[in-house]
């Protein structure tokens, strides 16, 4: 077990922020997360967090995964104090962090996200993992499943994932898996690209539009300048930023600000 006191970190807020779909409440204070084949539980009381891993795993993987080397307070402090809407949103979601997640998993996750809600996205991904992922056992002795590699999905019929409740999105995922396995898409190369170039490459994938590409850039490549615009964000921009959102003020971390807005709107405040 690893204990840390961490400012501007809320595992509950991250779980509900729409960026990670393999994070689940275990009880009121504890959440589980599956990432890169690993299983973790995080128990949190205020700013005190207990991670169910050893120091080596925490330092080598989870610290970076949760972006804990960055002081998110600096992002919040730079918000225009006259922008009372954004000040409230950031205060409300001040525990959100942009996770450093697997690119392939994020591509699939946000292909599935189109015209879908968080609960259904989680269920779809759980179905895919249980059917095509690798079975493992966590420290409690319980079974969990890894996220399937592209090779596990590339050989499927285009409509095979309808059985996992993906509907028309099944063909998006299967075709993308085939492109990766065939070498038409190089994920390792995309990971080294700038935000602009990476987005251009992602837009070439079947089923990927502007919003999905930006989500993948933000949550799968950690390009914090990505600013995904979905229905919630569009409504917020139309209501509070009729002259346009001041992205230049928050240049380089617009995606963090976007998440504060998204969480605020999602929670219906």
pLDDT at 126 over 70: yes
For residue 160, report the phi and psi dihedrals to the nearest 5 degrees. Answer: -65, -35
With bands split at pLDDT 50, 70 and 90, how would you rate the model's confidence at 232? confident
- Is 211 catalytic? The answer is yes
How far apart CA 6 and CA 178 sit, in angstroms, is 41
Express as a percent the part of the chain with pLDDT over 70: 99
For residue 168, report the phi and psi dihedrals to the nearest 5 degrees. Answer: -65, -15
How far apart CA 6 and CA 50 sit, in angstroms, is 10
Q: What is the mean pLDDT of residues 27-47?
A: 97
Residue 232 parent element (H or E): helix 231-240
CB 219 within 8 A of CB 206: no
How far apart CA 258 and CA 262 sit, in angstroms, is 6
Q: Radius of gyration of the chain from Cα atoms?
A: 18
pLDDT value, residue 267: 81
How far apart CA 46 and CA 87 sit, in angstroms, is 21
pLDDT at 211 over 60: yes
pLDDT at 115 over 90: no
Q: Which residues pair with 94 in a beta bridge?
A: none
How far apart CA 58 and CA 74 sit, in angstroms, is 24
Q: Which of 192, 197, 211, 242 is catalytic?
A: 211
> If 0-12 CB within 10 Å is exposed, 13-18 middle and 19+ buried, where does residue 117 land?
exposed
pLDDT value, residue 229: 93
- 176: Cβ–Cβ under 8 A, 6 or more apart, which residues? 107, 108, 111, 150, 185, 205, 206, 207
With bands split at pLDDT 50, 70 and 90, how would you rate the model's confidence at 72? very high
pLDDT at 99 over 60: yes
pLDDT at 77 over 90: yes
Express as a percent the part of the chain with pLDDT over 90: 93
pLDDT value, residue 192: 97
Residue 40 parent element (H or E): strand 38-45
CB 103 within 8 A of CB 110: no
In tens, the pLDDT along 6-21 reads 999 999 999 999 999 9
- Neighbouring CB atoms inside 10 A of 92's CB total 15
CB 31 within 8 A of CB 22: no
pTM: 0.94
How far apart CA 175 and CA 18 sit, in angstroms, is 24
What DSSP state is assigned to residue 212? H
In tens, the pLDDT along 151-190 reads 999 999 999 999 999 999 999 999 999 999 999 999 999 9
pLDDT at 116 over 80: no
Query: What tokens does 84 get?
Result: 């009372």
Q: What is the mean pLDDT of the chain?
A: 95
pLDDT value, residue 269: 57
Q: In 160-248, which ranges are E strands?
A: none
Q: Tell me the longest C-alpha to C-alpha distance in the chain.
A: 55
Q: What is the mean pLDDT of residues 51-64?
A: 97
pLDDT at 253 over 90: yes
User: Which residue segments constitute the domains of the chain, with CATH numbers given?
Assistant: 2-92 (3.30.310.260), 103-220 (1.10.340.30), 231-266 (no CATH)
pLDDT value, residue 268: 61
């Amino acid at each position: 077990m690893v204990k840390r006191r961490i400012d501007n970190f809320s595992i509950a807020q991250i779980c509900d922020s729409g960026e990670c779909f393999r994070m689940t409440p275990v009880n009121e204070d504890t959440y589980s997360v599956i990432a890169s084949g690993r299983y973790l539980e995080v128990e949190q009381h205020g700013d005190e967090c207990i991670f169910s891993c050893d120091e080596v795993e925490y330092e080598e993987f989870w610290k970076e995964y949760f972006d804990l080397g960055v002081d998110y307070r600096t992002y919040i402090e730079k918000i225009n104090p006259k922008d009372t809407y954004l000040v409230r949103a950031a205060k409300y979601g001040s525990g959100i962090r942009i996770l450093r997640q697997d690119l392939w998993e994020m591509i699939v996750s946000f292909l599935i996200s189109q015209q879908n809600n968080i609960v259904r996205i989680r269920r779809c991904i759980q179905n895919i993992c249980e059917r095509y992922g690798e079975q493992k056992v966590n420290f409690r002795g319980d079974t969990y499943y890894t996220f399937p590699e592209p090779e596990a999905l590339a050989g499927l019929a285009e409509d095979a994932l309808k059985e996992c409740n993906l509907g028309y999105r099944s063909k998006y995922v299967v075709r993308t898996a085939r492109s990766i396995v065939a070498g038409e898409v190089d994920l390792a190369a995309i990971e080294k690209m700038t935000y602009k170039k990476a987005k251009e490459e992602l837009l070439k994938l079947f089923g990927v539009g502007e919003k999905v590409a930006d989500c993948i850039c933000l949550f799968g490549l950690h390009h914090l300048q990505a600013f995904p615009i979905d229905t919630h964000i569009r409504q917020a921009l139309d209501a509070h930023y009729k002259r346009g959102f001041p992205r230049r003020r928050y240049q380089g971390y617009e995606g963090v600000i976007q998440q504060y807005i998204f969480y605020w709107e999602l929670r219906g405040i």
